[in-house]
């Protein structure tokens, strides 16, 4: 662990993470502050500068292919790829998988990449869909985070005014699943 602060870098032109942090300063002045900055294009030089000052750098590259995404994949230690289990969403992971494998051919150390299923349902028969999606993702050579994120109104309700489920503490299931996903991402080696 490190005493240095964390910064959130928004490299998605839609800048939803950045506006979330702006809303947080405005509506939640007493909540722990989240430092944020925006970047575009090749983010490697900017990230190298920040690495001297910050202990952790969280980069939001958005879902679309971009120079920012490709350059981020070259220097990140870990990549979290959120996806729905819907077949259409899984199709787009083919391209992400190619980006990850191409980057790994050039990188000195292998990128730890994990697909995390989001917007899943807490219904017993939904597990079959998740298992099917996991097989499809693994067939692409990507690893899956063993903990999916369920669709919960608390995520929508809290992020709207710059909050998180950790600030509000009203949805313990959401807090627990976020902690599990984070631990799985930070763990070294294969999931589980
Ligand atoms: N697990 C969830 N439960 C409920 N709502 C969710 C969940 N995940 C995302 N959402 C909602 O869906 C919307 C979009 O989510 P998010 O910003 O994560 O998507 P995104 O793919 O990053 O979008 P973009 O590609 O535009 O950046 C947000 O309003 C968010 O609150
Ligand atoms: Mg986004």
Is ligand 1 within 6 A of the CB of residue 92? Answer: no
pLDDT at 84: 98
Asked if the structure places residue 107 within a domain, the reply is: yes
Residue 17, domain member (yes or no): yes
Lowest mean pLDDT among 36-45, 65-74, 77-86, 180-189: 180-189
Question: Residue 191 falls within a domain, yes or no?
Answer: no
Tell how far the Cα of 119 is from the centroid of ligand 1, in angstroms. 8
Beta bridge partners of 78: 112
Per the structure, the complete domain to which residue 155 belongs is given by: 6-186
Q: Over the stretch 120-169, which tens digit does the pLDDT of each residue have?
A: 999 989 999 999 999 999 999 999 999 999 999 999 999 989 999 999 89
Mutate to test the pocket of ligand 1, among 80, 119, 121 (most ligand atoms within 8 A of CB): 119
pLDDT at 1 over 90: no
| Pocket lining: 181 vs ligand 1, CB cutoff 6 Å | no
CATH number (domain holding residue 131) = 3.40.50.300
Note the pLDDT tens digit of each residue in 164-185.
999 989 999 999 999 999 999 9
pLDDT per position as a tens digit, 116-127: 999 999 998 999
Closest ligand 1 atom, CA of 119? 1
CB of 66 closer than 6 angstroms to any ligand 1 atom: no
Q: Which of the listed residues 64, 149, 155 should we mutate to test ligand 1's pocket, taking the one with most ligand atoms within 8 A of CB? A: 155
With respect to residue 133, please indicate whether it lies within any of the assigned structural domains: yes
Residue 1 lies in a domain: no
The total of structural domains in the chain comes to 1
Q: Is 19 in the pocket of ligand 1 (CB under 6 A)?
A: no
Q: Is residue 147 part of a domain?
A: yes
Answer yes or no: is 192 within a domain: no
In a domain, 91, yes or no: yes
Rounded to 5°, angle at Cα 142 from 182 and 111:
65
């Amino acid at each position: 662990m490190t005493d240095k602060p964390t910064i959130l870098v928004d490299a998605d032109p839609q800048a939803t993470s950045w506006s979330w942090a702006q809303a947080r300063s405005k509506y939640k002045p007493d909540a722990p502050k989240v430092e944020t900055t925006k970047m575009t294009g090749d983010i490697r030089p900017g990230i190298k500068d920040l690495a001297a000052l910050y202990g952790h750098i969280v980069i939001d590259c958005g879902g679309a292919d971009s120079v920012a995404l490709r350059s981020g994949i070259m220097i990140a230690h870990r990549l979290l790829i959120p996806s729905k289990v819907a077949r259409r969403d899984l199709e787009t992971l083919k391209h992400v998988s190619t980006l990850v494998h191409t980057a790994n051919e050039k990188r000195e150390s292998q990128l730890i990449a994990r697909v995390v299923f989001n917007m899943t349902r807490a219904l017993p028969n939904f597990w079959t869909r998740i298992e099917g999606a996991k097989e499809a993702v693994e067939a692409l050579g990507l690893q899956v985070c063993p903990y999916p994120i369920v669709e919960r109104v608390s995520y929508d309700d809290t992020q709207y005014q710059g909050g998180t489920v950790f600030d509000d503490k009203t949805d313990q299931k959401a807090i627990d699943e976020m902690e599990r996903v984070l631990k799985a991402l930070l763990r070294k080696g294969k999931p589980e």
